[in-house]
Structure formats: C-alpha cells, structure tokens
C-alpha cells in the first residue's frame, strides 16, 4: 500500500480529530454557510461508512465511526466559534486602548 498512515492509536479518536479539523477549517472558509457545512460533513461521514461496508472495499462499516465523526464535527465547530470570539475580543481590546 502506498502512502503514510497517520494515526493517534485509536480509530474513533482518529475519526473525531479528522472531522474536528475539517469543521474548524470550514467554519472560517465558509462563514455564511455553517448549516450547509454541518449537513455536508454529516453526510460525508455517513457516505464514508457506507462505502467502507461495500464488499469490494474489504473494510467494515461501523456506525460508531460515524458517531465519532459527528462528535468531532461538533467539537470543531465549537473550536471555530471560540477562536472567532477570541479574535473579536482581541480586536475590541486594541480599539479600546487607542
């Protein structure tokens, strides 16, 4: 197999972190489309699991992987929200001190 496997040592944690990164990135990339981003990530996680369950792929379908994807997505959106609030607060403090 070609490529490099990057893993945190636990499959569910790998899923959650991957979707947290996708959601946080998407939070800032498409600020006016967060609802669409949420739907897209939920569907992406579900499709990944369905495709893994196909016989030709040779992997197992696991609903808990999809649940970990959704948890990671929620965490990523919250991280994006915190980062956004933090940067707004920093901008406010700069204006206030002038």
């946080």: which residue's tokens?
24
> What is the residue-level pLDDT of the chain in tens, covering all 98 positions?
566 667 677 889 999 999 999 999 999 999 899 999 999 999 999 999 999 888 777 778 889 999 999 999 999 999 999 998 887 766 665 555 55
Q: What is the DSSP letter of 3?
A: S
**pTM for the full model?**
0.79
31: exposed, middle or buried (C-beta count within 10 Å: 0-12, 13-18, 19+)? exposed
Please give the Cα distance from 50 to 44 (Å, whole number).
10
């Amino acid at each position: 197999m070609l490529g490099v496997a990057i893993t945190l040592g636990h499959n569910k944690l790998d899923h959650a972190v991957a979707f947290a990164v996708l959601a946080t990135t998407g939070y800032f990339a498409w600020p006016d489309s967060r609802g669409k981003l949420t739907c897209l990530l939920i569907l992406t996680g579900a499709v990944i699991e369905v495709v893994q369950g196909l016989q030709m792929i040779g992997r197992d379908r696991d609903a808990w992987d999809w649940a970990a994807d959704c948890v990671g997505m929620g965490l990523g959106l919250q991280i994006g929200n915190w980062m956004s609030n933090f940067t707004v607060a920093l901008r406010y403090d700069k204006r206030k001190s002038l």
